[in-house]
Structure 1
Amino acid sequence: MQLPAYDDLLRAAKIVRQVMPPTPTCTWPLLSERAGAEVWLKHENHSPVGAFKLRGAMVYLDWLRREHPRVTGVAAATRGNYGQGVARASTHYGVTATIVVPHGNSPAKNRAMQALGAELIEHGEDFQSSLEYAAELAKERGLHMIPSFHPLLVHGTGTYALEMFEDAPELEAVYVPIGLGSSICGVMAAKAALELRTAPGLKAAPRLSTKIVGVVAKASPSYALSFKAGHVVTHPAETRIADGLACRVPNADALEAILQGVDHIVEVTEGEIAAAMRVLFEDTHNLAEGAGAAAVAGLLREREAVAGRRVGAVLTGGNVDRETFLAAMEQTGDAA
C-alpha cells in the first residue's frame, strides 16, 4: 500500500475541518515526571465523537459522495469508535449508516452510534465475525460497504499526526495503538510526508530519527505476532479492557506498511492498560478508554528506553463504559 503524500494529507485536513478543529497536543508535568521523559499527548479523545475515527470516515464519505453520488446508504463493522465516526460522517453527507457490532459490545458506544443516527445490528462473537456479516448485509440491502481499513482512512488519520508533529516537533519516538492499523499508518504517512517537505508555518519537521512504536494488547497479539513473522498471523482477540485493539485477523496492506515503517511493537497486559487509564486520569484528568490508554501503557513499559527523551503518545479515544472505567480506577499498582 502506498501511503498518502503531503498534498493528500493537506486535502484531507480541509475535509476534516468541516466537522472538527485540531485536537490538542499537550505535555503534562506529572506524566512526564512519572515516565522520566518529556511526554507529549495527542488528545484524540477531544474529537466530536471522542476518538480519532471521525477523521478517516469524513475523508472516505467525501470521496464516496463525489465518486458514487447515487449511493444512499453505507454499512460498516466496528467495536464502537469507527461506527461513531461513520455515523457522524454519514449524517454530514446525507446518507444512512448501518453499523454491525459483536454481541456484548460496549453499551455506551452502542447508544452513541444510535444517537448519531445509525441503525445498529448485533452479530457475531468478535469484530471479525461482525465485519464478515456487515459485508453480507451490504450486498443484501444494496448498501456501500465501508472497509475497516482503506488508504482513504489513512489519509484521515494522518491529519492528526500532522497536527501532533506541528505542536511537538522533533519527537524522538511516538507510541501508537494498533487496532486494524489505520492510525499507525497515518502517523507513518505524516512523518514521511514531513521528511520530504516541511509545511508552511510549521515550527519544524519531525526528526528523521523519529521512531514509530506500535502498541497492542497482549491478549490480542495478532499484529505483534505478524510483525515478528513478517506475514499475517491470526490469533484470538481476547482483550476485554481494550476492545478497540481486539483484532483477530490483521489487514495485509496495513501490515505491509507497518513492517516498513514501525521500529518495534510493544505488548501490554490488561493490568498495564488499566494502570495507564488511572495514570491518565490522575496526571492529566483525562478520560481514556482501554485502547486509548494503550500507547501510554507501552511508553511506561519502556521507561528505561525513553528516559530523558522527548516522546509522544496518542490518546486515541475516551469512550469507556462507566463500569469498565470504575473497575480500572479501583485497581492498584502497575499490574505488569
Structure 2
Amino acid sequence: MPPLPSLAEIESAAALVRPVVPSTPQYSWPLLNARAGCEVWVKHENHAPLGAFKVRGGLVYFDRLRQREPALCGVIAATRGNHGQSVAFAAGRYGFSATIVVPRGNNPEKNSAMRALGAELVEHGEDFQAALEHARRLAAGRELHLVPSFHRDLVCGVAVSALDFLRQAPPLDAVYVPIGLGSGICAMIAARDALGWTTPIIGVAADRAPAVALSFAAGQIVTHPSTTLLADGLACSTPNAEAFPHILRGVAGVVRVTEEEIAAALRAAFSDTHNAIEGAAAAALAALLQEKDRRAGKRVGVVFTGGNIDSALLAQVLAAA
C-alpha cells in the first residue's frame, strides 16, 4: 500500500494548484451552530470553480501525466459528474482531449457542465460500474489513458484543500467527510497525518449506498448495491481497493445516513447558510446532526464537498419541507 502524500508533497502540490484554484473559505454559521448544538466549521468546497473539491486533484494528476507521457493525446474517465468535470477541466489545460462516460439518467446539469468544458460525453449502462467497464473498453479500443477515480496524485491535489481547512479553522474536535471512492477522505487523512495531529475523522456513507460502511465494520471489502437517489457522489457499490486500507487505518468510524436525513440536511444548509449543496455534501452535515448529542458543545468540521445538485431535485427537496 503506497503511503499517503507527505506534508512536503502536499505543499508542493499547493504551489501548482493555488494559481488556478484559490483556497475556498471555511465559515461558522450561527444558525447552523444552534441547530447542531455545537460550533460547526464548514469547509465550502461548493465554492470551488467547478463547484466541487475534485478539481485540485485533476490538476496535479494531469501535470504529472504530461511529464510522464509527453506524447499522449487523449484521456477517458467514468464518473457520475464531479470527477468528470475535474478531468475535462484539467485535460483542457494540459492539452489532452477528454472522453467522459456516465451512466444513463445521470444528472443532466453535470452532463452539460462536462460538455461545456470540452469533453465528449458517452452515456452507457445503468450505474457507475457499468460506465466504468465501458470506459475501460473504449480506452483499449481508442488508445486513451484511463483516468482512475482514485489515485495518489488525485489525493495529493485534494489534500491541498484539506490542509488549508485544518490549518485555517480553529482546532477541531472531529471532522465529518463523505466517502465515495475515497479521494476526499484520504486527502483529509493525509493532511491530518502530515501535520502530526490526532483529530478524529468520521466518514459518512449513504444508508442506500452502504458498501463502505459495511466494509469498515467487517474490516474487509464488502460489495453491496447502491440505490441512493440524493447522494449520487456516494453511489459506490464496491469500495476502492487502494483507498480502503487508508480508510480502515485512518478513520475513527463511518456513519450511515438515510435519504430522509440527507434531504433534511439539504434544507438545513439552504436555510442556515444560504448554500445549495449536493446530496453527498449534505450527508456530512446529516451525520453530524444524527450525532449531535455526542458532539454537544464541541467544535466540529464538516466538508461541503460540492454544490452540483440538479435544480429540479433541489426544488423537490426544498418543497417537501
Q: Distance in 2 between matches of 1:106 and 1:15?
A: 30
Picking from 197, 220, 230, the partner of 2:219 is 230
| Residue in 1 that maps onto 2:112 | 111
Secondary structure (helix, strand or coil) at the match of 1:304 reads: coil
Instruction: Say if 2:192 and 2:198, in contact at 8 Å, map to a contact too.
Output: no
Task: Tell me, yes or no, if structure 1 residue 290 matches structure 2 residue 267.
Answer: no
Q: Deviations over 1:50-71 (max 9, x none)?
A: 0001011111001001111111
Percentage of identical aligned residues:
57
Q: CA deviation at 1:100?
A: 0.3
Q: Distance in 1 between matches of 2:83 and 2:165?
A: 21
Instruction: Say if 1:275 and 1:331, in contact at 8 Å, map to a contact too.
Output: no
| Residue in 2 that maps onto 1:176 | 177
| Residue in 2 that maps onto 1:7 | 8
Aligned runs of 1:81-100 on 2, under 5 Å? 81-100=82-101
Secondary structure (helix, strand or coil) at the match of 2:16 reads: helix
Q: Distance in 2 between matches of 1:161 and 1:278?
A: 25
Q: Distance in 1 between matches of 2:79 and 2:195?
A: 31
Instruction: Say if 1:242 and 1:290, in contact at 8 Å, map to a contact too.
Output: yes
Q: CA deviation at 1:40?
A: 0.3
| Residue in 1 that maps onto 2:200 | 211
Q: Distance in 2 between matches of 1:193 and 1:209?
A: 10
The one-letter amino acid paired with 2:301 is: G
Q: Distance in 2 between matches of 1:328 and 1:156?
A: 32
The one-letter amino acid paired with 1:108 is: E
Task: Tell me, yes or no, if structure 1 residue 45 matches structure 2 residue 34.
Answer: no
Instruction: Say if 1:172 and 1:211, in contact at 8 Å, map to a contact too.
Output: yes
Instruction: Say if 1:73 and 1:95, in contact at 8 Å, map to a contact too.
Output: yes
* Alignment TM-score, normalising by the size of structure 1: 0.94
Q: CA deviation at 1:94?
A: 1.0
Q: Deviations over 1:248-302 (max 9, x none)?
A: 1111121100110000000001111111111111000011011111110111110
| Residue in 1 that maps onto 2:242 | 253
Secondary structure (helix, strand or coil) at the match of 2:167 reads: helix
Q: CA deviation at 1:31?
A: 0.3
Instruction: Say if 1:38 and 1:309, in contact at 8 Å, map to a contact too.
Output: yes
The one-letter amino acid paired with 1:179 is: G
Q: Distance in 2 between matches of 1:8 and 1:227?
A: 28
The one-letter amino acid paired with 1:279 is: A
* Alignment TM-score, normalising by the size of structure 2: 0.98
| Residue in 2 that maps onto 1:242 | 231
| Residue in 1 that maps onto 2:270 | 281
Secondary structure (helix, strand or coil) at the match of 2:121 reads: strand
Q: CA deviation at 1:18?
A: 3.2
Q: Distance in 1 between matches of 2:253 and 2:69?
A: 39
| Residue in 2 that maps onto 1:142 | 143
Secondary structure (helix, strand or coil) at the match of 2:201 reads: strand
Q: CA deviation at 1:209?
A: 3.7
Aligned length: 320
Q: CA deviation at 1:331?
A: 2.1
Task: Specify every segment of 5 or more residues in structure 2 that has no aligned partner in the other structure, as ranges.
Answer: none
Task: Tell me, yes or no, if structure 1 residue 311 matches structure 2 residue 312.
Answer: no
Q: Distance in 2 between matches of 1:158 and 1:277?
A: 25
Instruction: Say if 1:172 and 1:209, in contact at 8 Å, map to a contact too.
Output: no
| Residue in 1 that maps onto 2:193 | 192
Q: Distance in 2 between matches of 1:123 and 1:16?
A: 32
C-alpha root-mean-square deviation of aligned residues, in Å?
Answer: 0.8
Secondary structure (helix, strand or coil) at the match of 2:242 reads: helix
Q: Deviations over 1:102-157 (max 9, x none)?
A: 01000000000000000000011111111111111111101110011111111011
| Residue in 2 that maps onto 1:26 | 27
Task: Specify every segment of 5 or more residues in structure 1 that has no aligned partner in the other structure, as ranges.
Answer: 196-207
| Residue in 2 that maps onto 1:102 | 103
| Residue in 2 that maps onto 1:323 | 312
Secondary structure (helix, strand or coil) at the match of 1:3 reads: coil
The one-letter amino acid paired with 2:258 is: T
Secondary structure (helix, strand or coil) at the match of 1:252 reads: coil
The one-letter amino acid paired with 2:59 is: M
Q: Distance in 2 between matches of 1:141 and 1:236?
A: 30
Q: Distance in 2 between matches of 1:266 and 1:186?
A: 18
Q: CA deviation at 1:6?
A: 0.3
| Residue in 2 that maps onto 1:63 | 64
The one-letter amino acid paired with 2:107 is: S
Q: Distance in 2 between matches of 1:331 and 1:102?
A: 27
Q: Distance in 2 between matches of 1:284 and 1:212?
A: 23
Q: Distance in 2 between matches of 1:290 and 1:163?
A: 23
Instruction: Say if 1:37 and 1:308, in contact at 8 Å, map to a contact too.
Output: yes
Change (3 A) 1:219 1:134: same
Secondary structure (helix, strand or coil) at the match of 1:313 reads: strand
Q: Distance in 1 between matches of 2:176 and 2:131?
A: 28
